[in-house]
Amino acid sequence: MAGNKISTNKLYEFSNLNFKLLVIFCSLFLFSCSTTDKKPGDIDILRSQAETTLQKAKREAALGNFENAQYLLEEVRRNAILTDDLSLLVRTCMARGNVLLALGKTNDALAEWKLAVDNAERLNDQELLSVSKIYLSRGKLITENNNNAKTILDEVTLESKNIKKNRLYIAFSWQVIGLANRALEKYGDAEDAFKRSLDIHVKDSYLDNAAYDWYTIASIRSLSGNTQGAINALESSIVYDRRIENSWGIAASYRAMGDVYKKMGKQNEAKEAYKRARAIYAAIRNDVEVAEMDKRIGS
């Protein structure tokens, strides 16, 4: 199938991209911006509890337990309000938006991301404000079916100039630039952007983000007709997800691998990939995905 144009939605080459993306972007805001440094005499019991709960929410998302993650993030929001911690509130809004998106609540997700921008504007932190705006732009790119991809690319490129210190934020900017270029069918530029992100994530040991970079590179390659390159990228994604025991991510990559093999006309390899994805979905007790894998295996 190499060399032929693949007719599919330019943002979602793989049907479960949202879920893989959810876990990674939850991770971004769990680790990238801690609350104010503690000084002698400070009390940070509630803030410490919130950070611990954020970690639990990330783990629930990694297992596909999005409703549990939503419940935990609501508790984090409560602690952020109690402590008047705007930084924590901004991160919580971003993560909640991801969970709501995964649950199919698009309008609620956009509202959370807009709230994140509103709260960031109250802080004297230009980097956090810019990354909040980029995050909202990514949300629009996902929910508006690529209609404003060029405008979003310009917005993100402009805001990214304000991000100079936080390497995880810089990598995130490259990811969204890559997503916008993919939507515009500029596949070479899209892969280059994700490789810039990947370089930061590998050097700084953000392995879950590196797994997502490879996963998205796979979708870019598949869209461009480079199906074998897509398989290679998915194998790299799985390597990183195994290292961090990201069950949902591994299953997502096997499922995508099945889709690519099917495009290549390799039905046996496709079914084997779907079976491996099914085994993981069954182990994490996700009946919806198990049923979907059964359907693909039987087709």
In the prediction, which pLDDT does 134 show?
93
Single out the residue of 154, 164, 156, 112 nearest to residue 133, CA to CA. 156
Confidence (pLDDT) at 147: 74
**Class for domain 202-299, per CATH?**
mainly alpha
Residues in the chain with pLDDT values less than 50: 1-12, 15-16, 18-19, 22-23, 25-26, 29-36
CA gyration radius, the chain:
19
Residue 112: its pLDDT value, please? Answer: 93
Cα 267–270–273 angle (5° rounding)?
Answer: 155
Contacts of 126 (CB under 8 A, 6+ apart): 162
Q: What is the pLDDT of residue 39?
A: 56
Distance CA 71, CA 176 (A): 27
Percent of the chain with pLDDT over 70: 84
State the first-to-last Cα distance of the chain, in angstroms, to the nearest integer: 19
Q: What is the pLDDT, as a whole number, of residue 101?
A: 84
Look at residue 20 in the predicted model and tell me its pLDDT.
55
Distances (CA, A) of 134 to 111, 146, 150: 15, 15, 14
